[in-house]
């Protein structure tokens, strides 16, 4: 059996102030094309369908259209909620929708039952376990020793009637210890939401959601497929792919990754203001319509740099500096001789602490003239 493993669509997400709805619509269209070309037997969406528990109307309409297209293609689609979703809202009318081949996991109620699919040769049991916390499981198993996410998952799985001689796939949304995170993910203090990969022993494949970088998590059959889009500048170097899984028997697992084309790429560039603003630079690099994080290396701040650069790079979303001042770790501490120094000397001291260099003669002259005018107006 072949199935497409997806997760973390985060429909409705914004990058800074920019809506990514068109970028997401572009990705969903690619998924539909891939399904038409490759004819998978099922599609798994491992949580974080939406970016917020109360998604925007635009995001809901887009996902509704996407599911309708998948249903028309006759491909069973299995969906769970992630930590960004509202399990109650996502699973609304799930029993009715299931008649169209779209199976959405309900709110965790202490039970875990399989949805069995067949490709005519192989039967596979799919267990849908939405994002859960220890308190969610403790509610149904009050006598169980549950003090961690690992305990909670182990309890939920052990209390399911699973025939491990059959082919079994678990779809869940958790952070497996050791997985590499990105800035765009929610992080619990001290890694309290970690779970050990050993809780998934016995499954033939574990389709994980939650982590935005595609990766193996503890064992070859336990995998994150990653997000289909880059949702932070920390993901700029990631190569996003669609993960197709083929499961033909016990221990017979094959993974194929398909590259994803983005409507607009996320990129990070650095240089002086003059270099980056030069017409030859943006003409040669083709960055005019990309989503940009620009780091300026000028020693002095450029007035309204972000506004001026946005006239060239329309999707400049973040701008910062890397220079002696920003690299300095100097701390500004109270001075013992404040009363003995002139205002100009104090400003020079502050400038030196902030920028790790002395003021120029022109800057000193400007400050001196400013203080003189202030005295005259006092």
195-243, pLDDT tens digit by residue? 999 999 999 999 999 999 999 998 999 999 999 999 999 999 899 999 9
Question: Residue 182 is encoded by which pair of tokens?
Answer: 């990105």
| Collapsed DSSP state (helix, strand, coil) of residue 116 | strand
Using the predicted structure, report yes or no on whether residue 90 has a pLDDT greater than 60.
Answer: yes
Confidence of residue 191 (pLDDT cuts 50, 70, 90): low
Confidence of residue 193 (pLDDT cuts 50, 70, 90): confident
Q: From CA 343, how far away is CA 23, in angstroms rounded?
A: 53
**What local confidence, expressed as pLDDT, does residue 377 receive?**
65
263-321, pLDDT tens digit by residue? 999 999 999 999 999 877 776 777 888 999 999 999 999 999 999 999 999 999 999 99
Answer for the pair 117, 100: CB distance below 8 angstroms, yes or no. no
Higher pLDDT, 3 or 184: 3
Question: Residue 191 is encoded by which pair of tokens?
Answer: 């890694």
Higher pLDDT, 194 or 71: 71
Per-residue pLDDT, averaged over 53-60, amounts to: 96
Confidence of residue 184 (pLDDT cuts 50, 70, 90): low
Q: From CA 278, how far away is CA 298, in angstroms rounded?
A: 15
Per-residue pLDDT, averaged over 49-64, amounts to: 96
- Rounded to whole angstroms, what are the CA distances from 355 to 138, 247, 301, 328, 361? 54, 59, 11, 7, 15
- Rounded to whole angstroms, what are the CA distances from 261 to 22, 23, 25, 63, 241? 13, 10, 12, 19, 9
């Amino acid at each position: 059996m072949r199935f497409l493993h997806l997760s973390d669509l985060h429909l409705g997400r914004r990058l800074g102030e920019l809506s990514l709805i068109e970028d997401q619509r572009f990705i969903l269209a690619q998924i539909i094309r891939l399904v038409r070309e490759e004819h998978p037997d099922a599609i798994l969406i491992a949580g974080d369908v939406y970016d917020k528990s109360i998604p925007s109307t635009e995001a809901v309409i887009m996902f509704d259209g996407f599911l309708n297209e998948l249903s028309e293609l006759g491909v069973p689609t299995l969906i769970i909620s992630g930590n960004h979703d509202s399990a109650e809202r996502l699973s609304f009318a799930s029993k009715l929708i299931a008649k169209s081949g779209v199976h959405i996991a309900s709110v965790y109620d202490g039970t875990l039952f399989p949805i069995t699919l067949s490709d005519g040769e192989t039967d596979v049991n799919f267990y849908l376990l939405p994002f859960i916390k220890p308190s969610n499981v403790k509610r149904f198993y009050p006598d169980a020793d549950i003090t961690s996410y690992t305990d909670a998952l182990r309890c939920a799985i052990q209390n399911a009637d699973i025939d491990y001689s059959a082919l079994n796939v678990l779809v869940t949304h958790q952070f497996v210890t050791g997985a590499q995170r990105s800035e765009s993910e929610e992080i619990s203090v001290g890694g309290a939401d970690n779970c050990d990969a050993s809780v998934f022993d016995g499954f033939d494949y574990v389709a994980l959601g939650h982590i935005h970088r595609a990766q193996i998590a503890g064992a070859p059959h336990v995998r994150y497929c990653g997000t289909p889009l880059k949702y932070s500048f920390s993901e700029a170097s990631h190569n996003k792919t669609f993960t197709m899984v083929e499961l033909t028997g016990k221990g017979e697992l094959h993974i194929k990754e398909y590259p994803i084309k983005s409507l607009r790429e996320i990129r990070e560039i650095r240089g002086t203001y003059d270099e980056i603003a030069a017409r030859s630079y943006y003409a040669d690099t083709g960055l005019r319509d990309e989503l940009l994080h620009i780091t300026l290396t000028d020693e002095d701040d450029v007035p309204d740099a972000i506004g001026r650069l946005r006239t060239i790079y329309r999707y400049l979303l973040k701008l910062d500096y890397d220079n002696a001042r920003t690299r300095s770790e100097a701390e500004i501490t109270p001075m013992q001789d404040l009363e003995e120094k002139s205002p100009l000397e104090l400003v020079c001291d502050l400038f030196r602490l902030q920028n790790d260099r002395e003021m120029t003669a022109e800057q000193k002259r400007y400050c001196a003239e400013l203080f003189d005018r202030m005295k005259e107006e006092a």
